[in-house]
Amino acid sequence: GTGSSSFVVFFLLLRVFPRYIVIVVSLPLLVRVSTWYQSRRVWEIFRVCEVPTLISLTATIATTAVTAAAAAATTAASAAAAATAATAAAATAAAAAAVAAAATAVAAAATAVAAAATAAAATVAAAATAAGVPNTTVAVSAAAG
């Protein structure tokens, strides 16, 4: 082919001219011829032999793309489920916080009621003592405490 004839020319030039001149002048030409020959050869191999490989590769790429899309959809569904669960958990936490706040308010109210009862008992005891009934203080203190 073209490649072998260029090599024959190359060796004939080596006999006539000094080596370094031939090499320097012919290197770009050799590279160009070699590149052209390789590209043509690759195209022939590709055209004749590799069509089934190309079809198989295309099918593999398509399958991989479909699999990746399915995995992405699954991941998105998982993320949506996780977001829903997180929202539910946040709602539960908010409800628990509300219950805790209500319990705190109830405890505060109970404390206020106890304080009011103690104050009332002290007032009753003071009034009873002022009225000259000393035993009432003990009874009211026992009832209050």
DSSP string, 26-68: HHHHHHHHHHHHHHHHHHHHHHHTSHHHHHHHHHHHHHHHHHH
pLDDT tops 80 at residue 37: no
Mean pLDDT of 67-71: 77
Residue 119, CA distances (Å) to 42, 52, 113, 126, 145 in order: 104, 98, 10, 10, 11
> In the chain, pLDDT over 70 holds for what percent of residues?
73
Residue 25 has a CB neighbour count (10 Å cut-off) of: 11
Q: What is the pLDDT of residues 81-122, one digit of tens each?
A: 888 888 888 888 888 888 888 888 888 888 888 888 888 777
Model pTM score:
0.33
> In the chain, pLDDT over 90 holds for what percent of residues?
0
Backbone angles phi, psi at 132, to 5 degrees: 85, 30
Residue 141 is predicted with a pLDDT of 54
Enter the tokens of residue 144.
Answer: 């209050």
Residue 138 is predicted with a pLDDT of 53
CA angle 8, 9, 15 (to 5 degrees): 95
Enter the tokens of residue 102.
Answer: 């209500």
Residue 82 is predicted with a pLDDT of 82
- Structure confidence at residue 144 as a pLDDT band (50, 70, 90): low
pLDDT tops 80 at residue 123: no
Which range of 33-37, 67-71, 107-111, 132-136 scores highest in mean pLDDT? It is 107-111
Mean pLDDT of 119-134: 72
- Structure confidence at residue 145 as a pLDDT band (50, 70, 90): low
3-state helix, strand, coil split of the chain in percent (to 5) is: 95, 0, 5
CA–CA gap between residue 89 and residue 82 (Å, rounded)? 10
